[in-house]
Every structure is written in C-alpha cells, then in structure tokens.
Structure 1
Amino acid sequence: MARFDGRTVLVTGATGGIGAATVRRLIAEGAEVIATGRSADGLAALAEETGAQTLAFDLGSEDEIRDAVGGLSLWGVVNCAGFGGEIATPQDTDIDVFDKVINVNARGSLLVIKHVAPAMITAGGGSIVNVSSQASLVALPGHISYGSSKAALDNITRVSALELGPHNIRVNSVNPTVVMTEMSAFYWGRPEIAEPFLSQMPLRRWATEDEIAAPIVFLLSDDAAMITGVSLPIDGGYCCR
C-alpha cells in the first residue's frame, strides 16, 4: 500500500520547480493531489502529466482562498507558493516590494492554513508542510524582504503546530538552500555570488528540486508521525558552519 492511498493533498505553487516535483512524488505515492499556481498553462501541463486536479485562487485574497479551499476534504497541505521580491539592503529596500513578499510568503500561507484547518479538524487530523527557506535561519546579504517573510512563516509553523496539535494536525517547515530555478538564477547564478556562497557550504553544490520534495513528502507522511513544529534545514550543511 502506498503511503498516501486515499489521502488528498493540496499543493500551492505547484507550477514552480519544487511544487511540481512535490506533486509528482505525491502522485507516485498514491495521493490525490489538488495543484494550484499562477500559470494556467503550467497547471494544465502538470495535470496532463500527473493526473493532478487543479484549482485557481488568488493568494492575496482571503475571500478567494476561503471560497476555494474552505469546503475541501483534505488530509495534507503543502504551502509552496512564493515570491522572491528584490535583492536589497535594509536602507535601500522598496517597502512596496517588502509588503508584496510578506503578502505572498507569510500572509498567503497563513490564510490557507486558516481556511483548511476547520475541515481537517472535523476529519480527525492531517499534516501541513510550509516551504520556508535557509534565508530565515541565517542572514544572507540582500535578503531583508525574503528572509523576513520566511522567518514569519517559520513562526506561523510553530504556532500552528502548537494550536493544531491537539486536533492531530502536524505542521512543519522545510528550509531549503538555493535551488537553481528561474526565480533564483538571476542572482545566485552570478559567479561572484555563487562561488563565495558555495565555498561556505560543506556539500559545495546547489540543491535539486527532488532533494527538497523528498523531505516534504516525508514530513507529510505517517513516517514523521511524531514530528511537528520543526524547521528542517535542507542546506548542504550551510547552517552548521
């Protein structure tokens, strides 16, 4: 029997690299997946490839989130949608960009949790995984907006784990290092940025999407039944330096 037979999992940000890899792994392990994302074409292609269902809503609108997910019968949720924002120092940051990053990465994930939780409580439990970042655990140059949003998400994880634990709902975060996606390549792909960063990482390489998806699926599964409230670094040892 596959680990997720008979279980439905919602994945936001499913058209991104990590989100799509997570959808594929969940489908392979028997889950019914509801995939959401900003790209209608990307969702259609992912649905055709994997058999996932699709759902559209605006993460910036509580009304749309409530209407879309409030009535769903879900066992699991992966909050994978994210916005990178800008590379800027605190003194140079564009506060409108800061607000948008917080709006998507922290507020949007909280609203999803808010509106899926009642049905999950009624159903008797489940598991939520928030895709955070290494940038919430260590100070990275230029990451004032993104790092702050992910630090907020880690706190949302801990408090949600505390509040939802008595209802048999586990809530965890994964905190990946850089995956060389389109969103990250514009900055991390520069040799003058990449080489000093990788020189401080014990494993000396970027993560792959599958290397992030695998721990997400583990934390969703019953194999992690006693794990809740953690922020799991997937960073090639960067945080231990």
Structure 2
Amino acid sequence: MGKLTGKVAVVTGAGSGMGRASALLFAEEGAKVVCADVSGHEESAAAEIGKDAIAVHADVSQASDVRAMFAAAVDEFGRLDVVFNNAGFNAPHHPIEETDDELFDRLVAVNLRGVFLGIKYAVPALRASGGGSIISTASATGLVGRKGIAAYGATKGGVVSLTMGAALDLAEDNIRVNCICPGMIYTGRGGAPADNSAPVPDRKMPVPMARYGTPREIATAAVFLASDDSSYITGVALPVDGGYVAE
C-alpha cells in the first residue's frame, strides 16, 4: 500500500475494464485520480473512489478534450505525476481486405492519435512537477501479428513505437514513458463478475498459461510503472499476456 502516495494520476478509459481497475488501484495506493472517459461511466468510477477522485468527460481523439483533462487535474489537485493512456477499442475480426476504411480511421484516431495526444499534452504539467510517468495501453498484437485484426494490431504497434521514441525525447526531463501489452484480458463486457475475476475458459486458450488475464493484473503492472519502483525503466513495452508473445 502507498506506492503512489502524493501522486496525481490521470487514467483514460477509466469507466470500465482495465482503466477502471487501474483507477481504483491507483487510489488504493494513495494517488489522487482523474477518471477520464467518453462513456459516461467515469462519474461512477470517481464516485467509487470518493473524495480523492474527479470525473472528466473526454474523447481522447480530440486535442481540446485532452488539454482540458490535464488542466482539470492541475486545477483540482495542483500537479500531475502519472498519465495512463488506456482508452482504446478493439474491432470485430476481419481479413484485411474486408476491413472498413472508416473503422480503420477510427481505430487510428482513438488507439494511436489518442495516445499521441495524451503524451504530448501531458508534458508541460509533468515538467512542472519535476518529471513523472506516462504509461499507455498497447497490446500483445502490437508485438506479434494475429490473423483477422491487422488494423487493430497496427495501431497498437504504433503505440509501441511511439512509446520508445517519446521515452528518448523526454528522458532528460525525468519523464518515463512505457507501455503495457495486454494479452487476452477478460474485461467482463456483457457481465463482469463483481470481483473482476475471469471465468474458466470453455475452450482451449491460445496462451501458455491457459487462462484469461484480469483487469486487476493490468492494473498492478500500471502501478509498478507509475511508481518509483520502476524509476530506471523507460521505453519498455511490457507484455502482460500469460506468455502469448513468448511462444
């Protein structure tokens, strides 16, 4: 407990799944949290945390929303130390020739442009705090290919590359930039268990550990990268995938 005491964190996609689990765990570890989302569920996430959180409605693909999100953090809590660019979405599996052009553009806008904006516009506030940690959600499919999701994987591969380049740009400012590459995480859409546990798979899982990961397991990785425990780690794409990438 207390790994993030005294820190102010912004979490995007905080209304559900990995983002919500991370916002809650950040608060458990002592952070004050800005819960940002476009879904409307950011309000309930902030309410669950209580006085140490605020909700901000933000579309991460829009620069004005991203700037306002960071301004809200500084206005409410006086500083910014941690950014978790988690917001993103997947898409139904389609062969590349059947992938809709507009869907591709939307994937790029949210999954890649959203991370770019979340890094770019966090920098002034992080510099003012003397440095900090930027974490983004990439994917195991940003490290290895997978049939049927080339467009999604391309956006997540872009997040990996963006992370490495930004880490080099910002190292002298004491701003660390890393990303998490989740594998098959059970986010509970369609009915999440209250304890964030994952169901026993009803089929053979294409993962060496043969089970789903949970949002909490992503959250614990995010806490590590947000905390001083990872003070000499930057430019890293960390798989949290049950061995998927290694196989």
Give the TM-score, by structure 2 length: 0.88
Gaps of 5+ in 1: none
Match of 1:129, SS state, is: strand
The equivalent of 2:18 in structure 1 is 18
The equivalent of 2:93 in structure 1 is 87
The equivalent of 1:218 in structure 2 is 224
Shift of 1:181: 2.4
Tell me which protein shows more helix as a share of its residues. Answer: 1
Aligned mate of 1:209, from 209, 215, 220: 215
Q: 2-side partners of 1:164 and 1:195: how far apart?
A: 44
The equivalent of 1:64 in structure 2 is 65
Q: 1-side partners of 2:188 and 2:103: how far apart?
A: 19
Shift of 1:54: 0.9
Contact 1:47 1:54 in 2 (8 A): yes
Q: 1-side partners of 2:83 and 2:71: how far apart?
A: 13
Shift of 1:195: 3.8
Gaps of 5+ in 2: 192-198
Structure 1 residues 135 and 184: alpha-carbon distance in aligned structure 2, compared to 1, 3 A threshold: farther
- Please list, as runs of the form range in 1=range in 2, the aligned pairs for 1:92-241 lying within 5 A after superposition: 92-182=98-188, 195=203, 198=205, 200-241=206-247
Q: 1-side partners of 2:97 and 2:146: how far apart?
A: 15
The equivalent of 1:45 in structure 2 is 44
Match of 1:238, SS state, is: coil
Letter in structure 1 aligned against 2:241: D
Structure 1 residues 82 and 184: alpha-carbon distance in aligned structure 2, compared to 1, 3 A threshold: farther
* Percent identical residues: 37
1:105-140 residue CA offsets vs partner (Å, 9 max, x unmatched): 110111111111012112210001101111111111
Shift of 1:44: 2.0
The equivalent of 1:76 in structure 2 is 82
1:70-124 residue CA offsets vs partner (Å, 9 max, x unmatched): 5732100001101113311111111110110010011011111111101211221
Give the TM-score, by structure 1 length: 0.90
Over the aligned positions, Cα root-mean-square deviation in angstroms equals: 2.0
Letter in structure 2 aligned against 1:61: Q
1:166-189 residue CA offsets vs partner (Å, 9 max, x unmatched): 10000101101111225699xxx9
**Residues matched between the structures, number:** 232
After TM superposition, the runs of 4+ consecutive aligned structure 1 residues lying more than 6 A away are none
Letter in structure 1 aligned against 2:6: G
Q: 1-side partners of 2:43 and 2:16: how far apart?
A: 13
Structure 1 residues 184 and 161: alpha-carbon distance in aligned structure 2, compared to 1, 3 A threshold: farther
Q: 2-side partners of 1:164 and 1:175: how far apart?
A: 21
Query: Is the counterpart of residue 33 in structure 1 residue 33 in structure 2?
Result: yes
Letter in structure 2 aligned against 1:12: T
Letter in structure 1 aligned against 2:115: S
Q: 2-side partners of 1:50 and 1:84: how far apart?
A: 27
Structure 1 residues 87 and 202: alpha-carbon distance in aligned structure 2, compared to 1, 3 A threshold: same
Structure 1 residues 129 and 25: alpha-carbon distance in aligned structure 2, compared to 1, 3 A threshold: same
1:182-209 residue CA offsets vs partner (Å, 9 max, x unmatched): 5699xxx9x9xx845x1x4221111011
Q: 2-side partners of 1:202 and 1:112: how far apart?
A: 33
